[in-house]
Amino acid sequence: MQQADIFGLIKWQFHEQFTKERLLMSGFALAAITGTFLPVLNPRQDRLSKAIELGYGFSSSIAFTTAAWVRQTKERIYASIDKSGLEITKTTLKGRLVVANSVEEIAAKRDLLEHIKKLPESEQYYWASAYGLQGLLSPPIEVEAREEGRLALPAAQSEFVKHSPLEPQIDWLHKLVGEMALEPEKRKHHHLCINGGSQSGKSTLFSCILALLSQAIAKLNANSKIIINLIDPKYPKTRWSITPSFIGFEQVGDGIENAVGELEDRKLRCIEAEKNGLTHPDFDRYILVLDEWDSIWGEGKGYGKSISKQDAAKIRGSVLRILKESAAYNMTLVVIGQSPLSKTSGFSRSDLNSATRVVLGNEALKWTQDPGFPFNAIVSDLQEKLNYWIKKEARCALVCPNIGQPFVEAIPRFDEAKESTNSGNEDWLERINDWISSLEEIPTKEEVNEFYYSLMGERLNAAQLKELMNYLEIVEES
Amino acid sequence: MKTLFYGGLLFSGYALFQGLGFIAKAYPVTSSGVSLVIFLSFTILLIFGFNNLCGYYRNDGYIDRTQTIISFAPVFALGSLIVVAIISGIYAAS
pLDDT for residue A414:
55
Radius of gyration of chain B measured on its C-alpha atoms: 16
What contacts A295, CB < 8 A, 6 or more positions away? A233, A234, A249, A303
Flag whether pLDDT at A428 surpasses 80. no
Alpha carbons A240 and A253: distance in angstroms, whole number? 21
Distance from CA of A76 to the nearest CA of B (A): 11
Overall average pLDDT of the A418-443 stretch: 68
**Cβ neighbours of B5 in A, within 8 Å:** 65, 68-69, 72
Mean pLDDT of A229-241: 75
DSSP state of A303: B
Encode pLDDT of B66-86 as tens digits.
555 566 777 888 899 999 999
Query: How far apart are the C-alpha atoms of A233 and A290, rounded to whole Å?
Result: 9
Return the residue in B2, B4, B6, B9 with the most chain A beta carbons within 10 A, the one to mutate for interface testing.
B4
Q: How far is CA A201 from CA A14, A198, A328, A411, A416, in A?
A: 76, 8, 30, 9, 11
Note whether A72 contacts B23, CB cutoff 8 Å: no
Question: Would you state the pLDDT for residue A216?
Answer: 78
Mean pLDDT of chain A: 78
End-to-end CA distance of chain B: 37
Residue B11: pLDDT over 90: yes
Q: Is A374 helix (H, G, I), strand (E, B) or coil?
A: coil
Model confidence at A38: pLDDT above 70? yes
Q: Which residues from chain A sit within 8 angstroms of residue B8, using beta carbons?
A: 32, 61, 64-65, 68
Check whether B59 has a pLDDT greater than 70: no
pLDDT of residue A149: 41
pLDDT band at A418 (very low <50, low <70, confident <90, very high): very low
Residue A47 in contact with partner chain B when CB distance is under 8 A: yes
Q: Does A51 touch chain B (CB under 8 A)?
A: yes
**B contact test, residue of A65, A69, A70, A78 with most B CBs within 10 A:** A65
Indicate the pLDDT class of residue A459, thresholds 50, 70 and 90.
Answer: confident
| d(C-alpha A268, C-alpha A133), whole Å | 58
Tens of pLDDT along A242-256?
A: 778 888 888 888 888
Residues B11, A32: C-beta atoms closer than 8 Å: yes
What's the pLDDT score for residue A315?
A: 87
> What Rg, from alpha-carbon coordinates, does chain A have?
41
Residue A166 in this model has a pLDDT that exceeds 80: no
pLDDT band of residue A316 (cuts 50, 70, 90) is confident
User: Can you say whether the dihedral through the CA atoms of A300, A304, A310, A316 is positive or negative?
Assistant: negative
**Rounded CA gap, A338 and A360, in Å?**
9
Does the interface predicted TM-score (ipTM) exceed 0.90?
Answer: no
Q: Residue A307, Cβ neighbours under 10 Å: how many?
A: 22
Q: Which chain B residue has its CA at the smallest distance from A29's CA? A: B8
CA dihedral for A168, A169, A170, A174, sign (positive or negative): positive
Chain B contact set for A47 (CB, 8 A): 26-27, 93
**Helix, strand or coil for residue A259?**
helix
Exposure string (b/e) for A256-265, b if CB count within 10 Å is 16 or more?
bebbbebbee
Contact in structure between A253 and A231 (CB atoms under 8 Å): no
Name the closest residue on chain B to residue A46, using Cα atoms.
B93
- In chain A, % of residues over pLDDT 70: 84
Least confident of A52-56, A204-208, A398-402: A204-208
Pick A272 or A60 by higher pLDDT: A60
The closest CB to that of A50, out of B11, B15, B92, belongs to B92
Cβ pair A72:B2 closer than 8 A: yes
Among A21, A26, A33, A40, most B C-beta atoms within 10 A, so best to mutate, is A40
CB A255 within 8 A of CB A245: yes
Output A322 or A181, whichever has higher pLDDT. A322
